Structure 1
Amino acid sequence: MTGNDESTPPWGDTLRGLARRVLGPVADAVHFAPLDFPPLDSAPLDPAPAAGHNNAGRHYEYEARGGDVTVAATDGVSAAVGLHHYLRERCGHSVGWDTPLPLPVRSLPDSPPSRGDARVRHGYYLNFCTFSYTMPYWDWADWEREIDWMALHGITMPLALTGHESVLHTAYTRLGMDDESIRGFLGGPGYLPFQFMGCLDTFAGPLPPSWLDSHRELGARILERERAFGMTPVLPAFTGHVPPQLAPQGSSRIWQGFETRVLDPSDSRYQQICTEIARAQLELFGSDHLYAADPFIEMIPVDADPAFPGAVARATLAGLRAADPEAVWVMQAWPFSYQRHFWTDERIRAFLDAIPHERMLIADLWAEYDPQWRRLEQFSGKPWLWCALLNFGGRTDPVADLPNVPQSIDAALEAPNPPSGIGLSMEATRNNPAFFELVADQIWNRVTDIGTWMDTFVDQRYSTRRDDDATTLRAAWRGLLDSIYAASGVRIFPAQFSGVVTAKPSYARIPDGLDQLRADIAGALWYSPGTLVTAWEQMIDVAERDRALAAGPLGHDLIEVGIAYLARLADRFFLDVVEQSVRLGTRSDEHVARFMRLFDDLDRLLATRDEFTYQHWEAKALSWASEPGDRDVLADNARRIITVWGTTTSPLLDDYSGRFWSGLVGGYYRDRWQLWAHGLDRALASDELGHDHDSSEHDLNRRLQERAEAFLRDGPHPPPEDLGDVATESRRVYTTYASHAGSLSRTPDHN
């Protein structure tokens, strides 16, 4: 090795802390050293290396002898990656989101010198939405674990939003607003990221006073740790969105029914406020010169003049650079995909041309399915990031197109202007871990065979002690790879991929929409259900033999596979209710009872793991309550965003963030479908008499609104009682429902 063990790198103490958290006492035998490579250039926008060359500037080497391990690296994140590769390759353990720590490693096996070279300069992480859909109520323990995960997986460029509300509070105080008005403008804590993007304000608040101090401190602590690893966090910036009292003549715009006010870029206050916010941020949190701003996120520009977006771009950059001359604007390419009818190639080029190449970094947010880099010739020379999205709204559907990921990344890296980084831009984390691990792995490693990668992933994820269990688990995951994780060409988006369980009930498809209903249900099955059921049983077999293994990641995966199967079976049972009731001219109580029973059984399965319970989510929210009044806002935010999202009278985002969680499946969602079933006879009679469904639908919607208001007011039903562990409940549900696999239809036409 070329490392110098006697010198202490600036990130050494940070890495030793990471090693202790991951390995416990054995971490004393892990040593870190700087690697004798040319120093890494601090410029954040260097392009990726040309195809076939590893010159991204990040490297590690590790070697183990006599029970001691030395990891030498160019920087702290690369050292963490080197440690993780040693643990994976020599100890057979990986560290995932849900891996119990410290790892059960009692000694460190010898290893010859091994070296790793990053394929790209940057590993990007997170999405504005993630801070609402996964981490709005996290404390330092949650964040410390997450930052460790980032470092071990090669994340160098995390989005950092925690505490930004204090930046806005400081800036708007200096601009003459009082505390109560500012907190009212900021709105509820669970919705702050949407406020930061300029999508809404004042909603579901006001912000509790204690939140500002606690999260300013938390945000500073997060940034301190990220920077100690050598990461370059991306901080939020001004989008033109302002309080109405500061822009009485400003233009209004609408996002999903929410009205906000924006300044015209020609208004001198645009640059002034942009600069004021950036200066406040520098004072509170410092800067790494990377600023995330999306002035047109899911909102068409208020001025149709093709030159208008360019004016916004110039004013935004000028405002940032007045506070930080080294500012680089990080922007998501999502609008170019989401509102393609407006963002023509010509408009996009005019917008991008308004910013010098070295002052902008573009995140191609949904590159695994709708890559904008292909359409826009790698963004006309701008530095960019290849990002994988997959998860929308925090939905917990287990689904992905794993085989497509390596070839998509390879194609981007072989482009004339390759990405300078690979990113994970999911709207929520803690689901479909195989997909996100596969993407993160390719920051450092090229994957040439997805099956081989999957086998290794399984071995390292579970680290089972029995060879026969390891063989069984590999076979199970090969089955998942041939079923739910082979979604080739499937548009995994809530509007297209949404099953019955979390859907808002309606009579609209009875009976005239039956053909389309059948097609939609069949379209969610591009694979053989029998393959999925076999994989599920194999995983249950191992869980029953090794309960300790089931208490770790295997338990999480058991539930995800159970969701995958039972969600499709719920679709089928619902179709049976409709078809049989239409045939009989009256509600088929037998089929309704079977449909409802599935909700109860799935809820019991979900309740065996905290991360699949609604109660866990709300408890985290309420942990931040300092005053009695805080609880009302925090509970409302926690309940609202995963159900109606906005108001109970607006359908625009209803169930967008629907979750397969205990407390929702056996409570909120089941109750809604029970209301639907109670009114089914009336809906059928209306059709038989030649009347339309307006009256039945209106009555159902009224009852659904009442149910939503009750949930917001009272919360969920109590959790199920007399639960077995995840292996026991998985076997019970499997025994009840596996025989129905043959009744699920399959169609090759899923687009």
Structure 2
Amino acid sequence: MGPAGASVVLRTRDRSAGRRYEYRAAGGTLTIAATDAVAACVGLHHYLREQCGLAVHWDTTLPLPVRSLPDTPVRSGRPAVADGYYLNFCTFSYTMPYWDWADWEREIDWMALHGITMPLAVTGHEAAVHAVYSRLGLDDREIRRFLGGPGYLPFGFMGCVDGFAGPLPASWLSSHRELGRRILQRQRALGMTPVLPAFTGHVPRQLAPERVRSRLWQGFETYVIDPLDPLYRRIVAEFVHAQSEIFGTDHLYAADPFIEMAPVDTDPGYPAAVAAATIDGLRAADPQATWVLQAWPFSYQREFWTADRVAAFLDAAPDDGMMIADLWAEHDPQWKRLGRFAGKRWLWCALLNFGGRTDPIADLHAVPPAVDEALSGENPPAGIGLAMEGTRNNPVFFALIADHLWGRVGDLDEWLRGFVAQRYGCVPGIELLRAWRNLVQTVYNAADVRIFPEQFNGVLTAKPSYARIPHHLAELRAEVEGALWYPPATLTDAWRRMIASAEQDGSLVHGPFGRDLIDVAVAAMSRAADILYLDAVERSVRHRHADRPSVERFLRLFDDLDRLLSTRAEFTFQHWESQALAWSTCADDHAVLADNARRMLTVWGSAESPLLDDYAGRIWGGMVGGYYKSRWRLWADGLDAAISRPGSQDERLTAALRTHSELFIRDGCDPSPEPVGDLLAESRRLFQTYGDLVGTGFSRTNGRQERVQGRVSP
């Protein structure tokens, strides 16, 4: 049923001529005829967007304010590709490790409305792992130790870690087995074909201690069994059997035996042996099995994965038995380098986000031509995918990718006008459109910028250091300025216009506009932090001691931004941690869940290892005014000595930061004692305080900023 007095009627269309939908509305009745449930959902969403001016995004307030169903003649649509792929193993750690059914129910609805037909389904896979290793003789405690902490499970499934940040609570196994079943039941009811995880060769060492070999990933040691060992194929098949018993199957299995780790054997034939053992094991258990492989290793370890090595690896699996997800195709398309994967079916995927970071950044202009190029020529992609490491960020980018599933985006400005109107449910005024056009020319115009955490983040979430103080200020200035690839005045103009639009219509801030307003502020305040940091350092070096006024001004920014972030729950660390702790059933569970929630967003691994420190850093309330500010306070406390005696404070700061991280993981952070303010008032206050600073900023402000890449290393 639709609005009062209106109704929605669904009808089935024959699929012999391909997937499609048709809709028409007359007399308060909307009729949707479609070949399948996802196509029907896409038709409904297109009707809502095109006739009601309303779109459903991740953060849209539901139910939609649809008061009538406007009459419209028949409209129809066909997909541009056969399938819409969704998610990345990492997403299940960086966004959704602690989701409950309500979160998943909404997410699956979002998938259907946007045309997703092939979602990666990882939730509950630990139950299948537990079943397999129980059959192979390990006991419950051994298996739960091997699985590790709940927040890190997908990294174990990929073979990157084992036994880390755990053990897995026993209650988690049963609760997430049921949650996984429920998710799959809903996805299949909508006609989706979920992709389930498969065996990667990674095993508990005690399973066959004399027959495993070790390897390292980011300092973590794991163990793999040789593909020629009969146990390899057996475990592959056992995984399929266990999953089928618990979750059923749609014959799609994701396995990445070399996701970020070179093969343990230098024999050129080793990767092919792994591929053969994997597909043989899959098809022994499921003759219809298709192996879904991520092309990420071919990009990440390009030096090893030459075209010849890739060809030998892929040739070991039949063409009808493998599908390849070109994971980072918007930036580093492997399909171009590897000849469209030599006849294998493949998916053009956009990654963009690493670690679930919240920085507003993308290159919107490059998307339509990149997709068009992939779709042209021989062996075009079988599908288009959204393969971000974390969702709930940069919604404009991912909406643009999703729209390519069911059509072509020609004029980006025209598409943007529709996106803004449908996202906010209003006819956008001149101020609002100009604001968004400015954003598309600044933070969303990151051409030639390698969008990777180490490449574009500023000092706000960077780990403090004295490395360039006091003798290398020119290098420091160049690196700090390098985070700015656009005219800063254009960004602050967008910020001003967003605030003005909200002041004209206060109801805007309660929906998606509110999160967009915070995103614009985060973009501007990140640059303000860079400017104030550089000013504090340069003044302090010039004075030969810490310039307290400029240092305190830099630190005050963290509190100011924290107050803004805290006006929206989804921008707070407390929201993340409370979701994690909601799964706790006892004190031991509480300790593991709290540890995982805090560790993942800070040191990732251990406080002693810098390899993944801040990789998943979030610009969130509680993190900015708590964790990040207190790190910079430690830096400020030693600045005098660092200037007067270069090198004398480095070890002291390193030790202090290590202790600081350990305390945060143990104790977390307290909510701000100040009452949460008003989003619009806080936005205006920040703009009045920092807008001019960002707009004029560094000395190089004439024309387009020089594109300088490189991590800011304070």
The answer to whether the superposition gives a TM-score over 0.5 is: yes
Aligned: 1:698 with 2:618: no
Aligned: 1:743 with 2:705: no
Residue range with higher mean Cα deviation, 527-536 or 143-152: 527-536
Please say if residues 386 and 398 of structure 2, whose CA atoms lie closer than 8 Å, have aligned partners that are also in contact: yes
Aligned: 1:30 with 2:8: yes
One-letter identity of the residue aligned with 2:501:
V
Aligned: 1:458 with 2:420: yes
Using the alignment, how far apart are the partners of 1:353 and 1:470 within structure 2? Answer: 55
Q: Secondary structure at the match of 1:651?
A: coil
Please say if residues 559 and 605 of structure 1, whose CA atoms lie closer than 8 Å, have aligned partners that are also in contact: yes
Residue range with higher mean Cα deviation, 533-542 or 336-345: 533-542
Which of 341, 351, 355 is the aligned partner of 1:393? Answer: 355
Which of 181, 184, 190 is the aligned partner of 1:229? Answer: 190
Residue 394 of structure 2: aligned partner: 432
Residue 712 of structure 2: aligned partner: none
1:344-379 deviation digits (Å, cap 9, x = unpaired): 111111111111111000000000000001101101
How many residues are matched? 703
Aligned: 1:93 with 2:47: no
Residue 441 of structure 2: aligned partner: 482
Using the alignment, how far apart are the partners of 2:477 and 2:351 within structure 1? Answer: 29
Which of 662, 670, 683 is the aligned partner of 1:709? Answer: 662
Give the root-mean-square deviation of aligned CA atoms: 1.2
Residue range with higher mean Cα deviation, 631-640 or 708-717: 708-717
Using the alignment, how far apart are the partners of 2:181 and 2:31 within structure 1? Answer: 31
* Offset, 1:511: 2.8
1:250-273 deviation digits (Å, cap 9, x = unpaired): 100000111001001011111111
Please say if residues 472 and 542 of structure 1, whose CA atoms lie closer than 8 Å, have aligned partners that are also in contact: yes
1:32-56 deviation digits (Å, cap 9, x = unpaired): 11113417xxxxxxxxxxxxxxxxx
Residue 681 of structure 2: aligned partner: 728
Residue 3 of structure 1: aligned partner: none
Give the alignment of 1:318-329 within 5 angstroms: 318-329=280-291
Using the alignment, how far apart are the partners of 1:554 and 1:289 within structure 2? Answer: 41
* Offset, 1:415: 2.8
Residue 53 of structure 1: aligned partner: none
Structure 1 residues 26 and 305: CA distance shift in structure 2, 3 A: farther
* Offset, 1:588: 1.0
Q: Secondary structure at the match of 2:656?
A: helix
* Offset, 1:737: 0.6
Residue 599 of structure 1: aligned partner: 558
One-letter identity of the residue aligned with 1:313:
A
Please say if residues 5 and 28 of structure 2, whose CA atoms lie closer than 8 Å, have aligned partners that are also in contact: no
Q: Secondary structure at the match of 2:574?
A: helix
Using the alignment, how far apart are the partners of 1:298 and 1:441 within structure 2? Answer: 30
Using the alignment, how far apart are the partners of 2:234 and 2:4 within structure 1? Answer: 54
1:208-249 deviation digits (Å, cap 9, x = unpaired): 110001000000000000001100000000000000101212
Please say if residues 459 and 470 of structure 1, whose CA atoms lie closer than 8 Å, have aligned partners that are also in contact: no
Residue 376 of structure 1: aligned partner: 338
Using the alignment, how far apart are the partners of 1:724 and 1:292 within structure 2? Answer: 45
Using the alignment, how far apart are the partners of 1:143 and 1:295 within structure 2? Answer: 28
Please say if residues 265 and 311 of structure 1, whose CA atoms lie closer than 8 Å, have aligned partners that are also in contact: yes
Please say if residues 500 and 567 of structure 1, whose CA atoms lie closer than 8 Å, have aligned partners that are also in contact: yes
1:376-418 deviation digits (Å, cap 9, x = unpaired): 1101111100000000001111010001000000000003111
Using the alignment, how far apart are the partners of 1:516 and 1:89 within structure 2? Answer: 51
1:143-164 deviation digits (Å, cap 9, x = unpaired): 0000000000000000000000
Residue 113 of structure 1: aligned partner: 74
Residue range with higher mean Cα deviation, 583-592 or 615-624: 583-592
Which of 282, 286, 297 is the aligned partner of 2:248? Answer: 286
* Offset, 1:718: 2.1
Give the alignment of 1:619-630 within 5 angstroms: 619-630=578-589
Residue 311 of structure 1: aligned partner: 273
One-letter identity of the residue aligned with 1:429:
T
One-letter identity of the residue aligned with 2:150:
P
Instruction: Flag structure 2 segments of 5+ consecutive residues without an equivalent.
Output: 710-714
Which of 552, 556, 560 is the aligned partner of 2:511? Answer: 552
One-letter identity of the residue aligned with 1:181:
E
Which of 365, 369, 390 is the aligned partner of 2:327? Answer: 365
1:649-684 deviation digits (Å, cap 9, x = unpaired): 111100000000000000000000010010111111
Q: Secondary structure at the match of 2:594?
A: helix
Aligned: 1:615 with 2:574: yes
Residue 252 of structure 1: aligned partner: 214
One-letter identity of the residue aligned with 1:554:
F
One-letter identity of the residue aligned with 1:269:
L
* Offset, 1:28: 5.9
Residue 528 of structure 1: aligned partner: 487
1:549-578 deviation digits (Å, cap 9, x = unpaired): 101000000000000010011111111111
Using the alignment, how far apart are the partners of 1:58 and 1:486 within structure 2? Answer: 34
* Offset, 1:547: 2.5
Aligned: 1:165 with 2:126: yes
Using the alignment, how far apart are the partners of 1:347 and 1:26 within structure 2? Answer: 62
Q: Secondary structure at the match of 2:454?
A: coil
Using the alignment, how far apart are the partners of 1:216 and 1:736 within structure 2? Answer: 50
Using the alignment, how far apart are the partners of 2:369 and 2:477 within structure 1? Answer: 33
1:502-542 deviation digits (Å, cap 9, x = unpaired): 11111111134323322222222111111111111111112
Using the alignment, how far apart are the partners of 2:264 and 2:14 within structure 1? Answer: 53
Using the alignment, how far apart are the partners of 2:284 and 2:156 within structure 1? Answer: 24
Instruction: Flag structure 1 segments of 5+ consecutive residues without an equivalent.
Output: 1-19, 40-56, 688-692
Using the alignment, how far apart are the partners of 2:474 and 2:11 within structure 1? Answer: 65
Using the alignment, how far apart are the partners of 1:359 and 1:629 within structure 2? Answer: 43
Q: Secondary structure at the match of 2:25?
A: strand
One-letter identity of the residue aligned with 2:464:
P
* Offset, 1:499: 1.0
Residue 160 of structure 2: aligned partner: 199
Which of 91, 106, 121 is the aligned partner of 1:130? Answer: 91
Give the alignment of 1:576-655 within 5 angstroms: 576-655=535-614
Q: TM-score, normalised by structure 2?
A: 0.97
1:166-212 deviation digits (Å, cap 9, x = unpaired): 00001111111111111011000000000000000110000111000
* Offset, 1:720: 4.8
1:309-368 deviation digits (Å, cap 9, x = unpaired): 000000011111111111100010000000111111111111111111110000000000
* Offset, 1:648: 1.0
Residue 381 of structure 2: aligned partner: 419
Using the alignment, how far apart are the partners of 1:545 and 1:215 within structure 2? Answer: 46
Please say if residues 150 and 168 of structure 2, whose CA atoms lie closer than 8 Å, have aligned partners that are also in contact: yes
Residue range with higher mean Cα deviation, 508-517 or 74-83: 508-517
* Offset, 1:482: 1.0
Structure 1 residues 617 and 309: CA distance shift in structure 2, 3 A: same
Please say if residues 488 and 697 of structure 2, whose CA atoms lie closer than 8 Å, have aligned partners that are also in contact: no
One-letter identity of the residue aligned with 1:245:
Q
Structure 1 residues 294 and 27: CA distance shift in structure 2, 3 A: farther
One-letter identity of the residue aligned with 1:706:
T
Using the alignment, how far apart are the partners of 2:472 and 2:387 within structure 1? Answer: 36
Using the alignment, how far apart are the partners of 2:665 and 2:707 within structure 1? Answer: 39
Aligned: 1:659 with 2:612: no
Q: Secondary structure at the match of 1:203?
A: coil
* Offset, 1:472: 2.1
Q: Secondary structure at the match of 1:543?
A: helix
* Offset, 1:491: 0.4
